[in-house]
Structure 1
């Protein structure tokens, strides 16, 4: 996949290219430097050419389009009639939780976790209950026993990222989570926005495909936005696995669905129906970038830990072996012209970590690691 030169990328107007001065390499927000897939460009251009920029008639054929994508990629049989749309995944999470809990109810999240989760729960009227991931030194996974204890103590919902952000983790304990949630009458909201970006040799398991218990308690929220780099087009999906959870979705205010962008709807349709070839190229590029990062760190920053993700384009870098970098290595990185996501924003478990975006050119990644390596001598007396 050919990536535009850095000078051309800097002409983009998104937050990735406007948040920092022009001499900073922006490897923070989850935007890719890859060109938009041609079917998506054509779909958006067709709506503009037709002067068709009104309100979306949603979900339209989205249910069938996503069901086809899910079957091809994961062997997941989605009922097209159980798919609803809204503006974006954050809205999908908030509105689902708003229907699933009472004001003040606890909602479990699993830090280190996507920072907005800490805000989306109170926006929905809930109270954040942290149950950190377990780490055995080689792999992370859900603390199902801890989640069960939180539900015993009154939490009414569980919000997970599957695949996990920022770790790119594919949990092996989703079935256990479903059983625990069903036993306690809790709803599980599974954010699966990074699912299309699973790497070769890895297997993604949609939460609603796990078991009858998962289908009974789960709602999947997702979008083509992360995998196809179209976050600005504003369309996300909510998928129910049972009559009860579909009733939960259909109990939302009409405006939740009505806010779906027509351009976003057609961009997602094009991605799910016609984007497989582009997606395969993007995943291969991400895998190559991840392997490249392993080598660059070994050469220039051997004290930084990195476990390559099983999915997505996010690298979770562990600077704790270099205490001079402190609790927030991203702060020092920025002084050397590299913008990373600060680890502490992912929860206290993120102290000493930073998140780096791999979806960039080889030249940009190499220059970023060289700049980070050059930061270290400045810390010496």
Structure 2
């Protein structure tokens, strides 16, 4: 694995298939995986060196202290986005989902409503269901995946307690604009709602997109905001299981203070080391990733326009995820499309593993999510298989 002549990151399929993670082992050797949100590129060399140092020293005991994550995260956010979070309000967790679940358990009761802008990252939906809370769908407008303020207002009732935000948005790749964010702030203030915002994709932007943390977007979020952060997506280190939450919400801070510390979990020494290194010594690698995923996005855009124009697709503003609508594919065939769950059809008939659209909630039927953070060749092979299968289906 390395960089190509144009400075873009790349990886061979042989190297990718040698890995033991879920992405390249869940399905058979004849399947190209484009589902789980891992990049195929090696993580930054400084991160690998830092972790290797622990192993070479036999340094697998306790530590370093997770408290070191707070100033590193604050420095990172200030450098990247102009936001300096209060270090006293930052808490470590093992993942963004872990932080989300802890927040829900400590600020809501069974049956309380949690607003989600669907389609949305499906483990968020699972977290709501598993905790006995009530999911309140506020579908995004499919024509541009915009947030509708009137629809949000109408979704709120007396039992609604939380708005769960995801910006940049997974799976659509939207970066919500100032007007949309202001609408969320307005509703949250008037109905006294907590806002939990997942911002772990905030650095994986395409040209022209600007991510602004909710904390500095609108003063009405003050005192009612939990921001989830992690180096996992930007630096391809999700397996290190390390995240933070900036908690600008006194009731949750008080609940955590009264909660047994071991119930809150703790990142591992390797996770802390890798994350600290990523946030302090890997900006050049991040910029290479940004260039690479934009190149792959543009490659996907060209290929779909030329070879599969019936697939509904809007180029994402951020992330390395594409939300593909197959409902108009083979419209003349019996039933049209590839069924309610195109990922199942393509896994069986194309040997391509995409994420199942219906799992993402409202707006997911007939749709699948594709991960394009891979090499030019692997992405071309993936598209070739999809195109061939659509042609055969038609």
Please indicate, yes or no, whether the TM-score normalized by the shorter chain is above 0.5. Answer: yes
Category of TM-score, reference length = shorter chain:
over 0.9
Deviation at 1:58, TM superposition (A): 4.3
Gaps of 5+ in 2: 4-8, 330-335
Corresponding pairs, count: 378
How high is the TM-score relative to the length of structure 1?
0.94
Cα deviation code 1:156-205 (max 9, x no counterpart): 11112111100111112122212211221211111111112122221101
The answer for the alignment partner of 1:379 in structure 2 is 393
- The answer on 1:331 being equivalent to 2:344 is yes
The reply on whether 1:255 has 2:232 as its aligned counterpart is no
Q: Which residue of 2 aligns with 1:357?
A: 371
Cα deviation, 1:228-272, whole Å, max 9, x if unaligned, reads: 111111111111235455335444431244432221111111111
Contact 1:87-1:234 at 8 Å conserved across structures: yes
- Partner Cα distance (2:196, 2:103) in 1: 8
Q: Would you say the 8 A contact 1:25–1:338 is kept in 2?
A: yes
Q: Distance in 2 between matches of 1:174 and 1:248?
A: 27
In the alignment, structure 1 residue 287 sits paired with structure 2 residue 294: yes
CA distances 1:35-69 after superposition (whole Å, capped 9, x unpaired)? 11011112212222333323445432211111111
Tell me, what secondary structure is at the counterpart of 2:43? coil
Give distance in 2, aligned partners of 1:307 and 1:289: 14
- Partner residue, 2:113: 106
Q: 1:178-193 alignment to 2 at 5 Å?
A: 178-193=185-200
Q: 1:30 to 1:240 in 2, by over 3 A?
A: same
1:158 to 159, 163, 166: 163
* Alpha-carbon distance between aligned partners in 1 of 2:58 and 2:163, rounded to the nearest angstrom: 42
Aligned mates of 1:205, 1:131 — CA distance in 2: 22
1:7-60 deviation per Cα after TM superposition (whole angstroms, max 9, x unaligned): 121010000011000111101100101111011112212222333323445432
| Closer/same/farther in 2, CA of residues 123 and 52 from structure 1, 3 Å limit | farther
Contact 1:178 1:217 in 2 (8 A): no
Give the 3 Å change call, closer, same or farther, for CA 299–53 of structure 1 in structure 2: same
Aligned pairs (5 A) from 1:126-165: 126-135=133-142, 137=143, 139-165=144-170
Which stretch shows the higher mean deviation, 251-260 or 58-67?
Answer: 251-260
**d(CA) in 1 for partners of 2:96 and 2:363?**
24
Describe the shift of the 1:22–1:79 C-alpha distance in structure 2 as closer, same or farther (beyond 3 A).
same
Which stretch of the first structure deviates more once superposed, 236-245 or 198-207?
236-245
Query: 2:106·2:252 contact (CA, 8 Å) conserved in 1?
Result: no
Unaligned runs of 5+ in 1: none
Counterpart of 1:341 in structure 2 is: 355
Structure 1's consecutive aligned runs of 4 or more residues displaced over 4 angstroms after TM superposition are 242-245
Q: Which moved more, 1:179-188 or 1:227-236?
A: 179-188
2:172 is aligned, of 164, 167, 173, to: 167
Distance 1:302 1:331 in 2: 21
